[in-house]
Structures are given as structure tokens and as C-alpha cells.
Amino acid sequence: MHGEYKVPGGKLVVVDLEVAEGRITDFALAGDFFLEPDDALLDINQAVTGLPDTADVPTIATAIRRALPVGAQLLGFTPEAVGTAVRRALVTASTWTDFAWEIIDDPAVSPLMNLALDEVLTERVGDGLRKPTLRIWEWDRSAVVIGSFQSFRNEVDPEGAKRHGFDVVRRISGGGAMLMGAEQIITYSLYVPASLVAGLTFADSYAFLDDWVLQALKKVGIEATYQGLNDIASPQGKIGGAAQKRLANGGILHHATLSYDIDGEVMTEVLRIGREKLSDKGTTSAAKRVDPIRSQTGMERRAIIDEFMSEFQTFTGATRGSVTPEELAQAEELVRTKFSTDQWLHRVP
């Protein structure tokens, strides 16, 4: 069995193993990480060999830590990363290059259509009717996009939204509200099969699926990292965040919104951002919470998007594609029957 795990912001961990009578045998670790002393590689191999094939990541990591010599240095990976690679091998997880990928960068549609397309394309990937896909969002008007489980009245100031020209819509994924001003945000969606994140915890899958964009941000001069469950940040502040929705057919939606040029004052007038929510972010001002990409790069928004697509294409070998007429028709029907209805928008009052 073979498993791979690219540590977000770190190195590639590769494992090969066999299983006999419920135990891991012939375990071998490899990768482009750094490890001192050299002999510690054998200690790790011996620590994993003999473990039950049902061992979870913490159990594997604990066994490795116990086996490592005093003072051993692991650079670019951790015992948990080895454990994750082992679990991915045991559940026969896929890797990025196992799939033929597509990139969609279509003309702007409404915020409601973007949300409906997310559901349609996720379902189609889960059903095997579409390649795994990266889609860049473009939209023709500003919107507040609230999470699936957020309270409308607790999150949005309707008068402020109307005054600043923001529609209010609800997405199918959880997480917090996104203030999506026209030309102020970079948003993308990944539609992937569950096998790509097999063996990863739900939390680890966030950083795993966004590691490529962290590398793209580094290429434009931003040393971005993942913080907490779903925040993408630089040393100057939060850049954006991600959210996921997993469908019963095995399709996974992972989308992220990054602030290119956000107006912090408008955000405070449109969103009801409480002091308690801000306190765990280490700031008392919503305007200080999000530091736009433009201020850190000086690059045009479209140039940043082009860099993102180039990095993803290099990473996966993706080819350019488009939403099909059938998919557009399905999305339009979902807008009519679901996303544009008060029942959906106010499903959590």
C-alpha cells in the first residue's frame, strides 16, 4: 500500500507498507523532508512496523515520538504527518495527480448563480459526471454571503446592506459571513471526490486543499499560513477563510474567499460583528481584522487570479474548461426553487 501527504507549507511525506494479520509490516518512510540524525529514519520505520492497521493518527504519532532519539530534528514534517500518510495508504486515498482536473474561469454571474453552481458542480463530481474542478467566481453585483447555519438577523444589518448595495444570500456550507464587494474579493471553489481527502481529519482537509493557494500567495510576495480551522493569514493580518460542504454521494465542496481590497468600515455597517467574535482574533476593530492582498502586493486583482490559476495548473496539470449548458440550466432551476427563496435565506431566522 502506498500513501502520500503534502504537509501544508511543508514537505511531502511518502509511505509504503504491507498488512499481514491486521498488523502493519514492511513499513518504509520517504519524502523531501529533513531529518537529523539520519538513523532516525530507521527508528520511525521500526516504530510503525507492527502497529495495528486500525491505529489512528495520534496512536501512530505517539509511537514515533517514543522511538525518536533525544534531540532528533524533524524539519518540514511531523509524526502526525507520517500518521496521516499511513492512514491515507490504508484507506487507499487518491492524490492530486490521480485525476484529470479542469479550471473554470467563466464570465460573471449573479451571487445566487454562483451559489447554485457550487451545489450543482459538487453533485456532478460526486456522481462521476464531471472532472474534479477549480472554479473562479466572478459576480455582477455585491453580496453578503452568510453561512448555512448563521442567523440572518444576528449577522446582517439589512439597512446597512441596502445602503451599500449588497444583496444578502445564503450558501450551503457552514462558516461565517463573507462580504463580497464587486472587484474586492477573490473567491474560488474546489469540487473534489471524497477519496482525495481520505484519511485526513475534517480539520486537516482544509489546509490540505488550500496548500496550493498558499504557495501561489508566496509567489506574489505574501507569506501566508493556515490558522485555526479555516483562516488564511499573513503576518500583517487575516486574508480570508474557507468553508466546506460534503454531500452524501461523495462530492466535496471546498471554497475560499480572500480579501483583495475590502473596506473595513463598510464591513462594520453591513455585518453585525460583535466584540466577542473579534476578541478571539486579538483585535477590537473589524476594520483591522482583514488585511487586503492589494496592500501587500500592489498587483491588480486579475493578475493575482492569473497567478492562482497558473499555480494550480502547474500543481495538477489542469486544463481549461467551462460550465456546460446542462449545468447552467440545473443551477438556474436551483436559484428559482431554493437560493432565491425567503424560506432558504431565513432558514435560520
- What separation, in Å, do the N-terminal and C-terminal C-alpha atoms of the chain show? 49
Residue 114: what are its φ and ψ, rounded to 5°? -60, -40
Among the residue ranges 2-11, 121-130, 187-196, the one predicted with the least confidence is 2-11
Note the pLDDT tens digit of each residue in 153-191: 999 999 999 999 999 999 999 999 999 988 899 999 999
On the question of pLDDT at 236 being above 50, the answer is yes
Residue that has been written with the C-alpha cell 453580496 in this structure:
143
Write down the pTM of the prediction. Answer: 0.88
Note the pLDDT tens digit of each residue in 75-101: 999 999 999 999 999 998 999 999 999
Structural domains in the chain, sorted by start = 2-90 (3.30.390.50), 96-345 (3.30.930.10)
Note the pLDDT tens digit of each residue in 251-261: 999 999 999 98
